[in-house]
A and B are shown apart, each in its own frame.
Chain A
Amino acid sequence: MIVLEDVHKVYPNGTQALNGVSLEIPERDFAFLVGPSGAGKTTIIRLINRDETVTTGSVFVEATDVTRLRRRDVPSLRRRVGVIYQDYKLLPSLTVRQNVEFVLKATNEFDHLSDGLVEETLATVGLTRRTNHYPHQLSGGEQQRTAIARALVRRCPILVADEPTGNLDQESGWETIQLLVQLNARGTTVVIATHNRTLVDTMRRRVIEIERGRVVRDEPEGGYYG
């Protein structure tokens, strides 16, 4: 369950990114976050993960009041929210496998380094033959899939994907979405920020449209445009 209540966000440089956003995404929901570039989609995602803090308003994730979170409780929130970043954030000095392993080490999940979870995850995103490649040796799509694998390996109850199909061709993009649909079917709450019109129109799932920092449309089974 993710709840935003009248959230305003002004960045330190004065940019008004969000201007009174309220939305509610229940557990196990599957929702698209659409809207033009600069609408505020990434900002919403960063507030959910407490990568940024609200200016006013409140954000809840499950029972956690994110805006009142004590510093030492931030990690437990972030462990529940997996984010696939628009710019991947891969570590250039680590291979595909090491990038995936890195997040397990960072969250003290050393046991999963040797139980086959990493291989399984890499196979899921179709990177079995690229495990020892460095990011600069990968295509854009492969980098994106590495970023997805890195989020999947953490098995978070909430998965937020920021433009996960941006660098993928139609078919790979479709496969990625199917992957997220499967995760959702097994209980993960999935939120996808995207510009991919075909995808949203084909899926006909919940669509939340953001424009200039406001929710302008929220339909249970919508298309890219209203």
Chain B
Amino acid sequence: MARLHVARYLLGSAFTGLWRNRTMTGGAIVTTAIMLITLAGFLAINDTLNQMVTALGRKSNLIAYVRDEARPTQVTAIIDDLRTRPGVGEVQFVSKEDALAIFESRFVDQRDILDVLQSNPLPASVELRLNNPAVVPELAQELQAMTAVFDDVVVPLDVVEEVIGISNLARVAGSVIIIALTGVTLFVIVNTIRIAVFARRQEIEIMKLVGATDWFVRGPFVAEGAIIGGIGAGIAAIALVVLYAQAAPVVTRIVSFLPVSTDTDFVRNLAVFTLLVGLIVGSLGSYFSVRRYLSV
């Protein structure tokens, strides 16, 4: 009963305050919504890129061709060592004979080319299947350096590296933009609450003089911030669900290789996350401005 009264008082004061100050309130809500939509957008892009990297990484191979004169014990030692490396999945030794067999099976029509040759021209090779494409460049360099053992190292690098590059760039750009937008949002919320505090300075003075607790004085303002954050996040979440429902199939159709998450779980989690961030940014922003401008 008492709690209900307090809740009604807090929300009642908060809504009165928000309405009294509706232009600022509207601006703060829109800013919050834009910030959150951007945040969610970057998270969605990031998710897509991460899935791409994983998908590519699963396929990515590194092939090191073994010199004919390399000692087999040496090669075996290297293979054993490679198996213990992080990010390295399968390591397979393909002997000269295996290579020939593969070649023959693959190019059945051109068998006669080989017949011409006296000996087997195909080198033995070590093939690596990598779990983490990020280790590719370093590993390649390392194997390349073993000139006594390996003749050449072939890396299907370009695509992987490019995707990793894009994904890193997106992450950095996203972080910068999100930090900036969060800053702007906090600034707007802090100022909205500052104006709300100013509009209520007489009420605050009396509340303090009759012995209202700090919590009671701050409460309505923190509630105001939470409401701004909550409504902004609500708008962002709705926009997100609608946009995603519209955009995901289109993107998937145009660039079919893009692994865009289309499952509803992902969108729902994103929406819930957006709501939480909105509420937290809103309440924290107002809490700090109340501390700053209310000295309670």
Contact = CB atoms under 8 A, between A and B. Distances in A.
Interface of A: 49, 51, 71-72, 74-80, 83, 89, 91-92, 102-103, 105-108, 110-111, 154
B209 A75 contact: no
Contact of A111 (B2, B202, B210, B216): B2
A57 to B, nearest CB: 22
Contacts of B5: 110-111
A83 B209 contact: yes
Given A49-B209, A78-B211, A108 B203 contact: no
Q: How large is the interface on B (under 10, 10 to 19, 20 to 34, 35 or more residues)?
A: 10 to 19
Interface in B202-217: 202-203, 205-214, 216
Given A89-B202, A89-B205, A91-B202, A106 B210 contact: yes
Contacts, number: 54
A78 B2 contact: no
Q: Which of B205, B206, B208, B216 has the most CB of A within 10 A?
A: B206
Interface residues of B, dominant DSSP: helix
Contact of A75 (B9, B202, B205, B212): B212
Contact of A106 (B2, B202, B214, B216): B216
A108 B206 contact: no
A79 B203 contact: no
A222 B205 CA distance: 35
Contact of B211 (A74, A91, A105): A74
Given A107-B212, A108-B216, A110-B2, 13 more contacts: A72-B213, A75-B211, A75-B213, A77-B211, A78-B208, A78-B211, A83-B209, A89-B202, A89-B206, A89-B209, A91-B206, A106-B206, A154-B210
Nearest to B9: A105
